[in-house]
Amino acid sequence: MDLHVELIASEGRRNGIERALRDAVRDGRLAPGARLPATRRLAEELGVSRGTVKAAYDQLVAEGYLTARQGSGTQVAALPAVETEVPGVASRARAPRFDLRPGSPDVGTFPAAAWLRALRRAIATAPSLAYDYGDPRGRIELRTALSGYLGRARGVVAPPERIVITSGYVQGLALLTRVLDGGEIAMEDPGLAFHREVVRRGGGRVVPVRVDEQGACAGELGDARAVVLTPAHQYPTGVTLHPSRRRAVTDWARARGGLIVEDDYDGEFRYDRQPVGALQGMAPGQVVYLGTASKTLGPALRLGWMVLPPRLVDAVADAKLHSDHHTETLGQLALAELIDSHAYDRHVRACRLRYRRRRDQLLHRLGTRRAVRGIAAGLHALVEVADEKEALARAEAAGVAVGRLGDHWHTPDGGEGRTQGLVVGYGTPRERVYPQALEALGQALDGLGH
């Protein structure tokens, strides 16, 4: 098969081949599934060594532009199409060379074999009624499994009858907003803008609560009806809610009849000490605990859970019923089996070791030149810079996609005197390409003011 590759002498042979093929895939000139010539054939046509072509192919496989299978040759990978991007919604449609944006785990580690075994066992033992409409709170098998897991792994008081299974954190937050029927809901500043929009669209009025080096400032909650917190690993600064702040916010909830919404999005991933227990364990009657399988297994499963104070269970279950009736059943049964067999624990432990290695690599490359915060846990770190717009532009020029702290303030860019930084995720890149991604980002930031 013929392939037109135009090399620029100044780039070097391998870099030139990589650039030409990468551009052809991005531009659509090489369609998904298209087969590439054998390395020997392309090397002959370009007048280079076979090893040079093979090295270029291997690099593009590592970056996700190509796929290579024994006996099937090398093909163009299926990249997300730009036209599928939804206006106003953060998207990964424009595939960068290196993706260090926060928010996603390494989905390549999904335990496919263990999930398939769990699904087979679940289907083999499921009663026929499992395939009918079900309890809006979710399958009792999963609620029971989660009750045990959350109690021992996160310190959550979680009787099965107080758990509602959702299609992820966003649905849980939307259901709560609907049940609260408006009013002031305090949300961390900085925090995820998309979550603020979920609350607004549900009728809530968002008010900011400042975050400092000890976490959310509980003394600023005032007359809010509820507060949404990420106490184990604040997003995006990465700080852990200080014990005194934990006591202050639970005291506020008891005194004012307020509600604490705990987003425990990556609580399993803590590296330098034992995981911090969930805030819910301190005040089960005042805290709604929200967790998901999105960071531990993958967002595609759309499986989340709410642990509710007794007074909210019926109202949330009714809202869930009139939202989508119930979350799909087979995934619930498979996850219950995965937890009961302890395959879920084994997977989480393996991921924890992998992400710790990546965190350590990030510190080694970036932490010697500038402050890096939020490193004790999670899948992202905050890298402080003097001018985040310039830093972001340099990163983009190097083909590296990262997040920007300025996008997370309630007031655009946060105002004068506030920390500037890049939010760097280390969950997404493939294992082989991650060191290269860090090096590209490090080179882009070298020489930039701190």
Domain count across the chain? 3
Residues 6 or more apart in contact with residue 185 via CB below 8 angstroms: 177, 199, 204, 205, 206, 207, 224, 225, 226, 227, 228
| 4 domain residue, yes or no | no
Q: What is the pLDDT of residue 1?
A: 59
| 450 domain residue, yes or no | no
CA dihedral 120→122→128→130, nearest 10 degrees, is -130
Distance of alpha carbon 65 from alpha carbon 364, whole angstroms: 28
| 307 domain residue, yes or no | yes
Write out the H or E segment, with its range, that includes residue 162: none
Of 359, 420, 335, nearest to 386 (Cα)? 420
| 1 domain residue, yes or no | no
CATH number at 415 reads: 3.90.1150.10
SS3 state of residue 74 = strand
35: DSSP letter:
B
- Tell me the two tokens of residue 329: 């059943």
Domain termination site, one of 306, 341, 376? 341
Say yes or no: 144 and 58 in one domain.
Answer: no
Alpha helices per DSSP H over 229-309: 243-256
450 residues of the chain, pLDDT tens digit each: 567 777 766 678 888 888 889 888 887 888 888 888 888 888 888 888 999 999 999 888 888 889 988 777 898 987 655 444 454 444 444 568 899 999 999 998 999 999 999 999 999 999 999 999 999 999 999 999 999 999 999 999 999 999 999 999 999 999 999 999 988 999 999 999 999 999 999 999 999 999 999 999 999 998 899 999 999 999 999 999 999 999 999 999 999 999 999 999 998 899 987 768 899 999 999 999 999 999 999 999 999 999 999 999 999 999 999 999 999 999 999 999 999 999 999 999 999 999 999 999 999 999 888 999 999 999 999 999 999 999 999 999 999 999 999 999 998 765 666 889 999 999 988 888 899 999 999 999 987 755
Q: What is the pLDDT of residue 415?
A: 61
Q: Are 48 and 13 in contact (CB under 8 A)?
A: yes
Q: Are 288 and 308 in contact (CB under 8 A)?
A: yes
| 2 domain residue, yes or no | no
Say yes or no: 96 and 137 in one domain.
Answer: no
- Tell me the two tokens of residue 413: 């860019």
215: DSSP letter:
E
Say yes or no: 127 and 263 in one domain.
Answer: yes
Look up the domain containing 54 and give its range. Answer: 9-76
Say yes or no: 152 and 197 in one domain.
Answer: yes
**Mutual angle of helices 343-366 and 140-154, in 10-degree steps:** 50
Say yes or no: 141 and 243 in one domain.
Answer: yes
Q: What is the pLDDT of residue 80?
A: 56
Q: What is the pLDDT of residue 83?
A: 45
SS3 state of residue 308 = coil
Say yes or no: 367 and 220 in one domain.
Answer: no
Distance of alpha carbon 237 from alpha carbon 369, whole angstroms: 19
| 335 domain residue, yes or no | yes
Domain termination site, one of 286, 309, 341? 341
pTM: 0.81
In degrees, rounded to 5, the angle at the alpha carbon of residue 92 between the alpha carbons of residues 87 and 98 is 145
Say yes or no: 16 and 140 in one domain.
Answer: no
CATH number at 28 reads: 1.10.10.10
Say yes or no: 34 and 157 in one domain.
Answer: no
Domain termination site, one of 341, 373, 405? 341
